[in-house]
Amino acid sequence: MTAPIPRLSARENLVGLKEMRRDQIDFIVRSVRDHGDIFQMRLGGLPAVMVNHPDYVQRVLVDNHQNYNKDNFLYRATRTVLREGLLANKGGEEWRLHRRIMQPTFSHSNVAKFTEGISELTGVLLRQWETNARDGTVVEVTSDVAGLALRIVLRVLFGLDADDRGRKFERDFLEVNAIIGNFFRFPFPPLSWKSPSRNRLRVLLAEMDAFIEYLIAARLKQDSDQTDLFTLLLHARDAETGAALTHAQLANEILSMIIGGYETTSNSIAWIFYQLAERPEMQQRVHDEVDGVLDGRVPAFADLANLPYTRMVIDETLRLFTPGWQTMRRAAAADVIGDYRIPKGTNIYLNLFTFHRHPDFWPDPLRFDPERFSAAEIAKRPRNVYLPFLSGPRHCIGKHFALAELHVITTMLAQTFHVTRPAGLPPVGFEPLLTLHPKGGIQLRLRRR
Ligand code: HEM
């Protein structure tokens, strides 16, 4: 026996349509509060079924994942930017083949090697910040850490440094992110139309494409025997046909990996720094841990396992400030989720912002508390309630790379500076673009330790 899926009233949807443009998170949080773990709603006017319970999410992402693809309106908008690269690929054979090609790049031993590049580039930024610390000037960290995260991806995955061009690429993508984020909230006019913002989008995309072409040309010129992601993509052959990736496929995968690899990470770092600055006792505990374990030494991959409290702070930040905060799948065929019948073609909406605040699984869910991630507390919780990288075959390919990166950067910051927020600033709010940004950036004062 299946039950009808609860739905928002016409009035709630109408109010939501307006409110989405003002505060998308507020609308979603209220809808979950009023309608529970599964319900039909309109997002920017388009129908979707929101699932907010781990069992339902497990059905979509893991148990019946073959039935759920990215051929839906959230990812259609994203594909305007990322085309058919891994992240936005609809799914199916091409996705499977490309995932198989790229997976070895993210092996445990490769991630261990990446940490050298991560710590070296982090050291460069921390040295730049020494001047701010000496002068007592406030640093707006989000833009600096976005630069760092982009340099890390370019260096460790593609063996390239592209500083000025890289900065421009970041600025372009930030604008694109806002245009697509707004489009999702109110999908009119279509992205293909001619209007000032759509024309601007086309210019930005052309600039981003030019950056990728520049990277490919630079890398092809290098006489290099590196075995990084670029080499893997370049030499990949289809097992059956022997065909190589076309130039467009290569470019799409590089763009997708760069965006996937720096945007989420840089937002996470900014939110982690914010937490440290807001909570002096917690920051002190991180300082004690990194000093005790490393005694001033640059962290190596093997050290990370000995810095569990720092990792707990990172995990709790990724719970409440999850950068990849919303996603969508489309049911290719009819299915049953829990007691509910899902018709073919349904758009399933998953919002990690509300999912990670589910009161049945997170006592006092809004409280920031790293202790939730002690080994004992983790053991008490079902595994599928915490999914900052999602789960199932399409979970984040860069998960372990990202966690190592966040761990190294947080550790090195803690070794070098004590951070505070300038007095009188209000709490930082959310800017829900395609990824979850801190609204207005994060301003910090740094003091050399
Ligand atoms: C804290 C950092 C990160 C977070 C929170 C994060 C989160 C996610 C999430 C939630 C997804 C699933 C999206 C969906 O299916 O709708 C995803 C997919 C993906 N991520 Fe990450 N990510 C992070 C870092 C990275 C890094 C460092 C890389 C690469 C270097 C990366 C590359 C990708 C790619 C390529 C996919 C698509 C995988 C596929 O569909 O097969 N991510 N990520």
What's the rounded Cα separation, in Å, for the pair 87 and 105? 16
pLDDT average, residue stretch 256-263: 93
Maximum separation of any 2 CA atoms in the chain, in Å? 69
Residue 436 lies in a domain: yes
User: Quick check: 308 pLDDT over 90?
Assistant: yes
Residue 400 lies in a domain: yes
Residue 8 lies in a domain: no
Helices 163-185, 247-278: crossing angle, 10 deg rounding: 80
Residue 241 lies in a domain: yes
Q: Find out whether 372 and 384 touch, Cβ atoms under 8 Å.
A: no
Give me the pLDDT at residue 21, please. Answer: 83
Strand, helix or coil for residue 301: helix
Residue 56 lies in a domain: no
Cβ–ligand 1 distance for 39 under 6 Å, the answer no
Q: The whole model's pTM is what? A: 0.97
The pairing of strands 347-351 and 46-51 is parallel
How many domains does the chain divide into? Answer: 1
Strand, helix or coil for residue 50: strand
* Ligand 1 atom closest to Cα of residue 393: 41
User: Quick check: 184 pLDDT over 90?
Assistant: no
Tens of pLDDT, residues 339-357: 999 999 999 999 999 999 9
Residue 51 lies in a domain: no
Tens of pLDDT, residues 3-14: 999 999 999 999
* Ligand 1 atom closest to Cα of residue 102: 35
User: Quick check: 312 pLDDT over 80?
Assistant: yes
Number of Cβ within a 10 Å radius of residue 163: 11
In the structure, what pLDDT confidence band is assigned to residue 306 with cuts at 50, 70 and 90? very high
Tens of pLDDT, residues 375-427: 999 999 998 999 999 999 999 999 999 999 999 999 999 999 999 999 999 99
Residue 354 lies in a domain: no
pLDDT average, residue stretch 278-303: 98
Give me the pLDDT at residue 163, please. Answer: 78
User: Quick check: 223 pLDDT over 80?
Assistant: no
Residue 103 sits in a domain whose CATH number is 1.10.630.10
Give me the pLDDT at residue 121, please. Answer: 97
Cβ–ligand 1 distance for 99 under 6 Å, the answer yes
Give me the pLDDT at residue 222, please. Answer: 85
Among 62, 40, 123, smallest CA distance to 298 is for 123
Q: Find out whether 40 and 47 touch, Cβ atoms under 8 Å.
A: yes
Cβ–ligand 1 distance for 323 under 6 Å, the answer yes
User: Quick check: 225 pLDDT over 80?
Assistant: no
Among 150, 405, 101, smallest CA distance to 253 is for 101
Give me the pLDDT at residue 379, please. Answer: 97
Residue 359 lies in a domain: no
Tens of pLDDT, residues 37-90: 999 999 988 999 999 999 999 999 999 999 999 999 999 999 999 999 999 999
Please provide the average confidence, as pLDDT, over all residues in the chain: 94
The one-character DSSP state at 374 is: S
pLDDT average, residue stretch 105-130: 95
Alpha carbon dihedral 350, 434, 93, 96, in 10-degree steps, equals -80
Q: Find out whether 183 and 73 touch, Cβ atoms under 8 Å.
A: no
Cβ–ligand 1 distance for 261 under 6 Å, the answer yes
Residue 432 CA to ligand 1 center (angstroms) comes to 17
Cβ–ligand 1 distance for 265 under 6 Å, the answer yes
Give me the pLDDT at residue 430, please. Answer: 95
User: Quick check: 224 pLDDT over 80?
Assistant: no
Tens of pLDDT, residues 6-35: 999 999 999 998 888 888 999 999 999 999
The one-character DSSP state at 99 is: H
What's the rounded Cα separation, in Å, for the pair 396 and 384? 15
Tens of pLDDT, residues 316-345: 999 999 999 999 999 999 999 999 999 999
Percentage of residues of the chain with pLDDT beyond 70: 100
What's the rounded Cα separation, in Å, for the pair 444 and 139? 5
**What's the burial of 341, exposed, middle or buried (CB within 10 Å: 0-12/13-18/19+)?**
middle
By most ligand atoms within 8 Å of CB, the mutation choice from 264, 317, 352 for ligand 1 is 264
The one-character DSSP state at 384 is: G
* Residue 176: domain span: 88-273+390-448
Among 172, 187, 198, 169, smallest CA distance to 77 is for 187
In the structure, what pLDDT confidence band is assigned to residue 237 with cuts at 50, 70 and 90? confident
Tens of pLDDT, residues 122-165: 999 999 999 999 999 999 999 999 999 999 999 999 889 887 89
